[in-house]
Amino acid sequence: MMTNVTFLNPGFFWLLLLLPLLVGWQIWQRNQHTATLKMSSLQGFQTKGSFLAKLKPLLFVFRLIALSLMIVAMARPRTVDISSQTKTTRGIDIVMSIDVSGSMLARDLKPNRLYALKDVAADFVNARPNDRIGLVLYAAEAYTKTPVTSDKSVILNALKNVEYDRVLQDGTGIGMGLSTAINRLKDSKAKSKIIILMTDGVNNAGFIEPETASDIAKEFGIKVYTIGIGTNGMADFPYAIDNDGKFLFRMMKVEIDEQLMKSIAAKTGGKYFRATSNKSLETIYKEINKLETTEIEELKFYDYNEKFRPIALAALLLLFLEMVLRKTIFRSFI
């Protein structure tokens, strides 16, 4: 009948230990006040049991039950309905700056670097429900695919549609990708501003030097995590397109300017990672997710429903019934 019941004053249950003492006291008192007559034989006497005399012990039972109910009522039974509300107290704004140059189609990650990155980045977005995230794409040039937003469906759809489409001039403008991401965050009021800068090559395009962009990031208090994508040694790179519009591949040396990526990360307080496989890329994003945590405030609301009133009322009714019976029907009994 009563589920999820708690007690405000459970210490009162110790009083239940007194009830066996009351029972013993009642038995002793009854023996003391009961008159006895010793006879050698009852032969010749007609005996007839009194129905009321058999019922009189019920008065004491009523009193015991009433006392038990009073103790339970004093323990204050109640049910509680707990509702909670969470809010982000110190959010993080994150921009992912993704290299979409032709080399991102290299097949050292499966099915290629770009698609592997898209899958892992989508998991990262889903793991950050309380933060705002934006998306920047760059090759020789850069543009904002999605401004910083808390709408995760917008970011996930944008990631899904990221392709090597030759819209941007081919090349790797790391400074362009970084400066465009900085522009998305420089006016942010978030407690923490993060850029995840990903590339698979060396800076060979754009009119903004990566070192200059990293200085600007530091000035605006923006932390940059850098990721170099590509295996060590040789990889299967696209080098041309045939008459059917399909890419032709050949083995070429993987070149990533790790020194530059480490410098950008160190200058802004971030960290450099190297992703040589799908698994290592997934691990990198999980580590960044752990490094940048968002403080969440949880508010709990307690709605108490007191249950002691009907129990106390039942105890009073039993005591009243016992008193009435003792003063009326059982009045003639000792």
Instruction: Evaluate if residue 293 carries a pLDDT over 60.
Output: yes
Q: In terms of pLDDT, which residue wins out, 52 or 145?
A: 145
Q: Determine the pLDDT at residue 304.
A: 78
Contact 121, 96 (CB under 8 A): yes
HEC profile of the chain: CCCCEEECCHHHHHHHHHHHHHHHHHHHHHHHHCCCCCCCCCCCCCCCCCHHHHHCHHHHHHHHHHHHHHHHHHCCEEEEEEEEEEEEEECEEEEEEEECCHHHHCCCCCCCHHHHHHHHHHHHHHCCCCCEEEEEEECCCEEEEEEEECCHHHHHHHHHCCCCCCCCCCCCCHHHHHHHHHHHHCCCCCCEEEEEEEECCCCCCCCCCHHHHHHHHHHCCEEEEEEEECCCCEEEEEEEECCCCCEEEEEEECCCCHHHHHHHHHHHCCCEEEECCHHHHHHHHHHHHHHCCCEEEEEEEEEEEECHHHHHHHHHHHHHHHHHHHHCCCCCCC
> pTM to 2 decimals?
0.64
Both tokens assigned to 228:
């170099």
Q: What's the whole-number mean pLDDT along residues 53-81?
A: 82
Quick one: pLDDT at residue 90? 60
Q: Which pairing describes strands 247-253 and 234-241: parallel, antiparallel, or unpaired?
A: antiparallel
pLDDT digits (tens, 9 = 90+) for 194-232: 999 999 999 999 999 999 999 999 999 999 999 999 999
pLDDT for position 228: 96
Of residues 27 and 140, which shows the higher confidence score? 140
Under CATH, which architecture does the 87-297 domain have?
3-Layer(aba) Sandwich (3.40)
Highest mean predicted confidence (pLDDT) among 1-10, 71-80, 226-235, 310-319: 226-235
Task: Report pLDDT for 284.
Answer: 95
> What is the mean predicted confidence (pLDDT) over 132-160?
95
Domain positions in the chain are 1-7+52-77+307-334, 87-297
What is the number of other CB atoms lying within 10 angstroms of the CB of residue 257? 18
- CA–CA separation, 264 and 215 (whole Å): 8
Cβ(79)–Cβ(304) under 8 Å? yes
CA distances from 176 to 29, 260, 283 (A): 99, 14, 27
Out of 130-139, 149-158, 312-321, pick the least confident.
312-321
> Which pLDDT score, from 0 to 100, does residue 173 have?
96
Structure tokens that stand for 75 in this block = 């323990």
pLDDT at 47: 55
